[in-house]
Amino acid sequence: MDYFAHETAVIDPGCQIGTGTKIWHFSHIMPNCTIGESCNIGQNVVISPEVVLGRNVKVQNNVSIYTGVICEDDVFLGPSMVFTNVINPRSAVNRKSEYARTVVKQGASIGANATIVCGHDIGRYAFVGAGAVVTKNVPDYALVVGNPAKQMGWMSAHGHRLEFDHEGLAVCQESGEKYQLSEGIVSKIED
C-alpha cells in the first residue's frame, strides 16, 4: 500500500486510492471509489460508492460524500458538511437511479456544517461559508453564505476577499495575483 489507512477504517473492494493519501479513524470508503494522491480523509467520514476525489482533497471529520459527487484537485471539505444525492428522498421509494451529479471544481472550499443540495456545481476556487445551504450553482471564485446561500462577494485562489475597483480589477492581498471582473464573471489575469 502506498497510502495510510487507520486500523479502524473500512475500505471496500474496488477502490483506487492514490499514493500518500491518509484515511483516519472510523472512516468508511465504499465500493469503487477513486481517491487521488495526497488526500486526507478525516475521522468518521463516509464516502459512498463511485465517488471521485482528485489530488490533494482535504476531507475534515464527520463529512458525508454521497454517490454522484466529484471533487476535483485541491478541494477542501469542512467539518460535518454534507452532500445530498436525491432531490426528493423517501424511505419507502427507491430512487438510486435518480442520483444527481454534483461537481466541486478545483480549489473550492466548503465550510463547516454546509449542505450542498444535489445537482448544483461549486465553481473553481469558490468559497461556501460555514452553515450555508447551497441550492443553485456557485460561480468560480464566488463567496456564498446563508440559507439559502447567497453570493456576498468574490474570493481569490488563496482564499481572500477580492475588492474590485471601478475598472473591475482586484489584487489578492496574499499572493499579489490579479483578477478581472467582467459581466459577472471573475478570471485570474495571467502574467
Residue-wise pLDDT tens digits, 88-128 = 999 999 998 999 999 999 999 999 999 999 999 999 999 99
Residue 16 corresponds to which amino acid? Answer: Q
pLDDT at position 191 over 80:
no
- Percent of the chain whose pLDDT exceeds 90: 97
The model's pLDDT over 69-88, given as tens digits with 9 standing for 90+, comes to 999 999 999 999 999 999 99
User: Residue length, the chain?
Assistant: 191
In the chain, list all ranges with CATH 2.160.10.10. 1-86+99-155
Contacts of 183 (CB under 8 A, 6+ apart): none
Protein fold of 1-86+99-155: UDP N-Acetylglucosamine Acyltransferase; domain 1 (2.160.10)
Task: Confirm if 22 and 2 have CB atoms less than 8 A apart.
Answer: no
Average confidence (pLDDT) over 155-184: 97
d(CA 44, CA 185): 37
